[in-house]
Amino acid sequence: MAKLLVLFVAFCLIPIFSVYGKELKLAVVPKFNSVFFEQSKVGCIDAAAQIKGVECIYRGPDISNVRMQDQVINQLIDDGIDGIAVAVTQSKYLVKNSLKRAKEAGIPIITYDSDFDASINEDPNNFRLAYIGTDNYELGKTLGEELKKLRPNGGTLIMQSGRPDSPNLNLRLMGVRSALSGIKYDAPPGRLLNHDSGWTEVREPFFNFDQLDQSVKQMESVMKGKPVKADSFIAVGGWAQNDQALYRKMITPFQAKISSNKVIIVITDTSSEQLTMLEDQLAHINIGQDPYEMGRQAILTLYKIVTKQKYEKTIHTPIMVCTADNFDTCTQSTGL
């Protein structure tokens, strides 16, 4: 009897790839290749290395372009991919094209970083089995709440985003507006602030379309106060700081404005380069995400789905508040 039990246990421990007759290839598809998404690549590779018979395929377009992302997904399908985690660029387009094809082929799909939005006109669960990433609305609220600590009586604000049709970024914009106004909006991105609890957005958000040089120029116009003037700046992504040399060159002449709080700067993400700039007081606050953990959990979740194990349908990765006082410890509990 004992011998039979040993044989049974040994059979159960056979690596899953031997059952399928091949190694499992699981893909992580970012919006585009960037400092932020490269960290999800590392998490993806590390997770795959810990599971025998699993390979991480990290592949994304060089720029944020839904058609290019769609082509990447189609190529993965052609290559016989076993599962896909995608950071959604434009929900409706992907659902009508490559992700529809993936679903029809029986390839499991999950989203990470950026989930589907209402433009698909149906339940996101019909196309993806899980979402892994930041609670983007809560991230936006955190950006707004941290700004309020430095400017408790309200003020004028300019925000910066990537694309006007980006699902996760619109949730962040809504979160900022909710935190500052106290209003709960029906749908993202909420409504432009106009004397709401002391806060006014002096213009619609800047959209940089993920062009780093453009994001730096937009921020420079805020620091100069030309052509529009505001006393607070929130970026719902880390674009301007993702080119450290360009950011430093632009921001250094305005060091006095930062030190005196004439313009409050709150920026998303906490790469090592961004934390160095925070240490040098070239911004007031950085709100961090955990893209490493997104990539890691994406592979673990896809593996569980493919091997028919129980899995979590929503995994929210941590948010960190980093300042010049805690820059050296604020991300130590994460993979960053």
> Mean per-residue pLDDT for 253-268?
97
Q: What is the pLDDT of residue 289?
A: 96
What is the mean pLDDT of the segment spanning 182-188? 96
User: Tens digits of per-residue pLDDT, 70-102?
Assistant: 999 999 999 999 999 999 999 999 999 999 999
Residue 331 maps to a domain: no
How far apart are the C-alpha atoms of 313 and 35, rounded to whole Å? 27
Nearest Cα to Cα of residue 111 among 152, 149, 69, 75: 69
Per-residue model confidence (pLDDT) at position 331: 85
C-alpha–C-alpha distance, residues 82 and 185, integer Å: 39
Residue 129 and residue 164: Cα distance in Å, rounded? 26
Average pLDDT, the chain: 92
User: In the prediction, which pLDDT does 332 show?
Assistant: 74
CATH number for the domain harbouring residue 46: 3.40.50.2300
What are the C-alpha distances in Å from 187 to residues 153, 167, 173, 181, 314? 27, 11, 11, 15, 20
Domain count, the chain: 2
C-alpha Rg value of the chain to the nearest Å? 22
Does residue 54 share a domain with residue 69?
yes
What local confidence, expressed as pLDDT, does residue 15 receive? 45
Cβ–Cβ contacts within 10 Å for residue 124, how many? 18
pLDDT at 228: 84
Same domain, 141 and 248: yes
Q: Which two tokens stand for residue 228?
A: 């529009």
With tokens 């997904």, the residue in question is 73
**Paired tokens of 29:** 């598809």
21-30, 73-82, 304-313: range with lowest mean pLDDT:
21-30
Percent of the chain with pLDDT over 90: 86
- Nearest Cα neighbor of 33 from 74, 71, 61, 56 is 61
Three-state DSSP class for residue 16: helix
Cα gap 198→181, rounded to integer Å:
8
Q: Does residue 292 carry a pLDDT above 70?
A: yes
Task: With cut-offs at 50, 70 and 90, classify the pLDDT of residue 22.
Answer: low
What range does the domain containing 208 cover? 136-288
Q: How confident is the model at residue 152 (pLDDT cuts 50, 70, 90)?
A: very high
pTM, full prediction: 0.85
Cβ(24)–Cβ(17) below 8 Å: yes
Given a cut of 60, is residue 12 above it in pLDDT? no
Give me the pLDDT at residue 21, please: 45
Do residues 90 and 127 share a domain? yes
Both 165 and 129 in a single domain?
Answer: no
Q: What is the pLDDT of residue 333?
A: 55
Give the model confidence (pLDDT) of 214-238 as tens digits: 999 999 999 999 888 999 999 999 9
pLDDT exceeds cutoff 60 at 192: yes
My answer on whether 297 and 236 are in the same domain is: no
